[in-house]
């Protein structure tokens, strides 16, 4: 055990162990964020029987967690390579290029999970989970007893002062969400829409971004946010700043094997 502790405390291995803990923190954070959200969305908006919903929850959680773990690993690895090339010194633009590469490789594919994980984290509310299995339905997405339970407590909550408080707390996030949607709307669209666009007053269905331009947009976005976190952290939304601290700075510190792999601190 003393030999292992000596390795953990040896500065020669610090950068490599930081990559390992970064991957660990990325995976754990992805599970913590995605699983409860996927569970609630499956209860409220899911279709089909519960085995089908659980598969959706598992897939969403696994993809979110593994993507974050991959990104942190690539980001820290490329930062280390750039430092070694530059004689052990980190340059101001190294964080941008490391984030650029990680964003392109991990989040460059246009899909529902990647669009939600793209920074800013709290400005893009995820869409409801749905499955295409209809082996068991109750006339709505939620079992009547569960629906009544939520409706009862929602009525009690709406009569309190909580909605006003929540509104003012999340008002900046609403503005940021609208801003992110406006910026994303300038990404060139794909050749075919999600569904056929009809006329005569029918609802116009959105056209997804072109996958090629989305990859470039994702890479630049992740590169920019990593540079901001390193050099202008005061400009980042507080919730996102806390998340990035957990992923990229907390992973630089540990005392023993337990705080390296099992728990953050």
CB 140 within 8 A of CB 44: no
Domain containing 251: what range? 12-130+141-189+207-262
Q: Which has the closest alpha carbon to 68: 16, 33, 112, 37?
A: 33
* Cα distances (angstroms) measured from residue 11 to each of 17, 202, 230, 252: 10, 64, 22, 11
pLDDT at 104: 94
Contacts of 50 (CB under 8 A, 6+ apart): none
Between CA 126 and CA 115 the distance in angstroms is: 8
Structure tokens at 229: 């976190």
Please tell me the distance from the alpha carbon of residue 104 to that of residue 215, in angstroms, as a whole number: 6
The reply to whether 3 falls in a domain is no
pLDDT in the model for residue 175: 78
Kindly give the confidence (pLDDT) of every residue in the chain, 265 residues in length, as a single tens digit, with 9 standing for 90 and above: 688 888 889 999 999 999 999 999 999 999 999 999 889 988 888 888 888 899 999 999 999 999 999 999 999 999 999 999 999 899 999 999 999 999 999 998 876 666 655 554 433 444 444 334 333 433 344 555 555 555 555 555 555 555 555 555 556 667 777 887 788 888 888 776 655 444 455 567 778 888 888 899 999 999 999 999 999 999 888 888 999 999 999 999 999 899 999 988 8
Assigned domain for 2 exists: no
As a residue count, the chain comes to: 265
22 within domain boundaries: yes
The three-point CA angle 203-204-208 to 5° equals 140
Packing angle between helix 50-85 and helix 14-45, nearest 10 degrees? 160
> How many domains is the chain built from?
1
240 belongs to a structural domain? yes
- What is d(CA 77, CA 15) in angstroms, rounded to the nearest whole number? 9
The CA–CA distances, whole Å, from 37 to 1, 113, 114 equal: 40, 12, 15
Note whether residue 4 is domain-resident: no
Residue owning tokens 């947009």:
217
Asked, for residue 42, whether it belongs to a domain, the answer is: yes
| Predicted local distance difference test score (pLDDT) of residue 16 | 95
Q: Confirm whether 198 is domain-assigned.
A: no
Q: What tokens were used for 200?
A: 């005569």
For residue 35, the surrounding DSSP H or E stretch is helix 14-45
CA atoms within 13 A on the CB side of 24: 21
Q: pTM higher than 0.85 for the full model?
A: no
Q: At which residue do the structure tokens 């920074």 appear?
A: 119
Burial class (CB in 10 A: 0-12, 13-18, 19+), 97: middle
Looking at the domain assignment, is residue 231 inside a domain? yes
């Amino acid at each position: 055990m003393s030999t292992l502790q000596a390795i953990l405390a040896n500065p020669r291995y610090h950068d490599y162990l930081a990559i390992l803990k970064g991957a660990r923190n990325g995976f754990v954070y992805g599970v913590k964020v995605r699983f409860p959200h996927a569970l609630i969305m499956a209860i409220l908006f899911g279709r089909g029987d519960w085995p089908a919903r659980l598969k959706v929850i598992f897939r969403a959680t696994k993809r979110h967690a593994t993507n974050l773990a991959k990104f942190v690993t690539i980001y820290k690895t490329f930062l280390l390579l750039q430092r070694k090339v530059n004689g052990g010194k980190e340059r101001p633009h190294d964080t941008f290029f490391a984030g650029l590469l990680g964003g392109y490789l991990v989040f460059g594919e246009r899909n529902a999970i990647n669009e939600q994980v793209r920074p800013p984290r709290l400005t893009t509310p995820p869409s409801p989970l749905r499955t295409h299995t209809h082996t068991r339905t109750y006339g709505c997405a939620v079992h009547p007893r569960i629906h009544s339970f939520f409706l009862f407590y929602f009525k009690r909550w709406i009569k309190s002062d909580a909605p006003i408080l929540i509104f003012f707390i999340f008002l900046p996030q609403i503005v940021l969400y609208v801003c992110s949607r406006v910026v994303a709307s300038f990404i060139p669209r794909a050749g075919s829409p999600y569904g056929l666009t009809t006329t005569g007053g029918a609802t116009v269905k959105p056209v997804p971004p072109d996958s090629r331009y989305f990859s470039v947009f994702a890479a630049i976005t992740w590169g920019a946010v990593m540079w901001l976190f390193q050099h202008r952290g005061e400009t980042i939304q507080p919730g996102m700043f806390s998340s990035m601290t957990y992923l990229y700075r907390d992973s630089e510190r540990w005392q023993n094997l337990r705080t390296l792999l099992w728990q953050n601190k």
